[in-house]
A = this chain, B = another copy of it.
């Protein structure tokens, strides 16, 4: 199986608020959500309360302009990780 095919198998989960999300670990999620007609990519820590996962304070919402900029920087960020 190629890398490409493997990637396609990752399906998002559906959040209670209608968002689509992926887990980065057992607490952190990347969610795509619509708010007042605009789409945001939200990277956030969640915490458990009464068996439910709730969004915590630690996190940030990126608008689509931020997201586009972020995507373009991925390789540069990787270079920093090597250089620092």
Task: Give chain A's interface residue range (CB within 8 Å of chain B).
Answer: 35 or more
B81 touches A24 (CB 8 A): no
B64 touches A32 (CB 8 A): no
B28 touches A66 (CB 8 A): yes
* A72 in the interface (beta carbon within 8 A): yes
Which secondary structure dominates chain A's binding surface?
mixed
A77 touches B30 (CB 8 A): yes
* A54 in the interface (beta carbon within 8 A): no
Tell me, in angstroms, the Cα distance from A66 to B32 when the chains sit together.
17
Tell me, in angstroms, the Cα distance from A11 to B80 when the chains sit together.
9
Residues of B contacting A39 in the complex (Cβ-Cβ under 8 angstroms):
81, 84
